[in-house]
Amino acid sequence: MPGNFEGGNAGMDVVIYARLSLDKLGNELGVDRQLEACRELAARQGWTVTRELIDNSISATTGRVRPAFEKLLTLSPKPDAIIVWHLDRLVRLTRELDRVISYGVPVHAVTAGMLDLSNPTGILMANVVTAFSQFEGQQKAARQRLAATQRASQGRPWWSARPFGYERDGTPRGGEAEAVQRAYQDLLAGRSLLSIADEWNRQGMLTTRGRRWTGATVRQLLMSARNCAIRTYAGDEVGPGNWDALVPEEIYRSAVRVLNSPTRKTGGGGPRRSLLTGVATCANCGGPIRTAWRGRKGEQGSYAVYECKFKHCVSHRQDEADTMVSERVIRFLTAPQFAEAFEQSEDDLPAQQMRDELGSLRSRLDDLATDYAAGLVTRSQFLTASQTMRSRVDELEDQLSQLGSDSAVKGVTGMTDEQVRRHWDGLDVDRKRSLILAVVVSCRLRQKGRGVRRTDERHVDVLFRAGDPAKVASI
């Protein structure tokens, strides 16, 4: 009978441990109820609670480290006893029970009484309870995996919690959906994840768990294939979903390519100040261009320069070089070559054809896997066919991502010279760099020669994308 603790001594010093596997609302009410019951037990027995240790929203079956549990097993001096609401709050795996037994402290459960882990009978009872809890957890996980697999195969939304941008039934959620769409556009236009997070926080737009956004959580959101209505299971894309896409697949693919790029700047998070670092190279040795200072930075008369990183072949005032490249880009954005280069991006037909082919290939891959499992094709046939189809899938996904990256320039097509200049002046450095990278094949800085102080167009070579991918244009 719960509450019958024969053998417990009044005056003992005890530690309470409480745990909740999933706190969906983040209010710790489940933990509070456990603590209240444990405190009542201690009061009835005349025990002194010296410490309360809590692991909230942490499962005991996933192998994830439980900080409070680890702290409990290292307390010194040891308490006279440990109080829990139920033994499965303390352990659900037999290997963790072994650690508690080795710790050598009796466990008092509000719902089950005392378990004296210093004798064989108490150890036997603890093993039985823990083995049943472990079995129950494995059965529950198996049922959840089966249900998730079935939902994924049907293309149904199967989210355990409402995802940002959607309702639970898979319909887009007003302002959140629009924010996600803008975030993809901003990312492809060169905006940083941190600046997107800062904007959402300023607007009072929180995550579905009620927390503030960070660059990491924005990245996780934009990396989700859910946003282009592709269903996944265990991290793998398994086919189209039957909910509305927030963005076209080519936009999603392009964003993934940007976020996974090994050259992407991930540290710091502050605003970028140099337009051409990482864009321009040295025309003499081919080395990268870096920013340096003439004079002490911040002092009167000092100024920033671009110089060759390796051999110091070239050196140009940063403001002068930026002006030269900006003028060339603006001229290109109003030139016929620009319209020719990007007119195909305005036609959605190639993108739709790619999406249709991708959908067909994914369905064929699913059918092939089913045939292999049924023994209708050999392993060699399965590997050969799947490798061919997966290569084509990778190729199409890369082409779609390239179409998506062109979104940085779509808003500029058809503008007059004056409109382009106003648009350019309104962009921050990140967006200007993104636009340059979208239209420029190469940008090289040349040596100025003896006696030449100012940078002019002779010292900057810029090649732009032309309509034929094999051709370039120099403006």
Q: Would you say the C-alpha torsion 274, 275, 279, 280 has a positive or negative sign?
A: negative
Burial grade of 146 (CB within 10 A; 0-12, 13-18, 19 or more): exposed
183 has pLDDT over 60: yes
Split into its structural domains, the chain has a count of: 3
130 and 51 share a domain? yes
pLDDT at 467: 47
Same domain, 35 and 121: yes
Cα–Cα dist 374/301, whole Å: 77
Is the model more confident about 53 or about 259?
A: 53
* Residues 240 and 295 reside in one and the same domain: no
For every residue of 11-78, DSSP letters joined together read: T-EEEEEEEES--SSSS-HHHHHHHHHHHHHHHHHT-EEEEEEEEES--SSS----HHHHHHTT-SSP
Domain finish residue from 135, 160, 185: 135
Same domain, residue pair 111 and 253 = no
| Residue 117, pLDDT score | 72
Mean pLDDT, residues 252-277 taken together: 70
Q: Does residue 262 register a pLDDT over 90?
A: no
Higher pLDDT, 28 or 83: 83
Q: Same domain for 25 and 117?
A: yes
* Band of residue 356 on the pLDDT scale cut at 50, 70, 90: low
CB 134 within 8 A of CB 98: no
CA-only gyration radius of the chain, Å:
31
Of 81 and 405, more confident: 81
Whether residue 430 is contained in a domain is answered as yes
Q: Is 224 left (phi over 0), alpha (psi -120 to 50) or beta?
A: beta
- The stretch 22-26 carries a mean pLDDT of 47
Percentage of the residues of the chain whose pLDDT score is greater than 70: 73
Binning pLDDT at 50, 70 and 90, where does residue 408 land?
low
CATH of the domain at 232: 3.90.1750.20
Residue 127 belongs to domain with CATH number: 3.40.50.1390
If pLDDT is split at 50, 70 and 90, which confidence band does 201 have? very high
Confidence of residue 347 (pLDDT cuts 50, 70, 90): very low
Residue 26 confidence (pLDDT) above 60: no
Q: What is the mean pLDDT of the chain?
A: 78
Same domain, 101 and 244: no
Tell me which residue of 280, 316, 319 sits closest to 449, measured CA to CA: 316
Buried-exposed string 27-41: b where 16+ CB fall within 10 A, e elsewhere: ebebbeebbebbeeb
Same domain, 178 and 240: yes
Domain around 221:
174-260
> What's the rounded mean pLDDT across residues 191-203?
89
Tell me if residue 163 falls in helix, strand or coil: coil
Question: Who wins on pLDDT, 368 or 296?
Answer: 296
More confident residue, 440 or 324: 324
pLDDT band at 51 (very low <50, low <70, confident <90, very high): very high
Q: Which of 86, 108, 135 is the endpoint of a domain?
A: 135
From CA 145, how far away is CA 393, in angstroms rounded? 27
pLDDT at 15: 96
Residues 46 and 189 in one domain: no
Helices and strands (DSSP H and E) totals, the chain: 16, 14
With tokens 């941008």, the residue in question is: 165
Strand 230-233 and strand 48-56: the pairing is: unpaired
Residue 232, classed as helix, strand or coil, is: strand
Q: Which backbone phi and psi does 99 adopt, to 5 degrees? A: -70, -40
Range from 68-77, 170-179, 409-418, 464-473 carrying the lowest mean pLDDT: 464-473
Residue 263 has pLDDT above 60, yes or no: no
Q: Which of 237, 241, 186, 227 is nearest to 407 (CA)?
A: 186
CA distance 262 to 180: 24
**Residue 138 main-chain phi, psi, to 5 deg:** -65, -40
Q: Quote the CA–CA distance of 111 and 95 in Å, as a whole number.
A: 23
Region label for 26, one of left (φ > 0), alpha (ψ between -120 and 50) or beta (otherwise): left
Do both 241 and 96 map to the same domain? no
Residues 238 and 285 in one domain: no
6 phi/psi in degrees, rounded to 5? -60, 130
The most confident of the ranges 22-31, 136-145, 212-221, 311-320 is 212-221
Asked, for residue 274, whether it belongs to a domain, the answer is no
Question: How buried is residue 182: exposed, middle or buried, by Cβ count under 10 Å (0-12/13-18/19+)?
Answer: middle
Q: Is residue 265 part of a domain?
A: no
Mean pLDDT of 221-236: 82
pLDDT of residue 313: 87
Tokens 């779609």 -> residue: 400
What confidence score (pLDDT) does residue 47 get?
93
* Whether the predicted pLDDT of 454 surpasses 80: yes
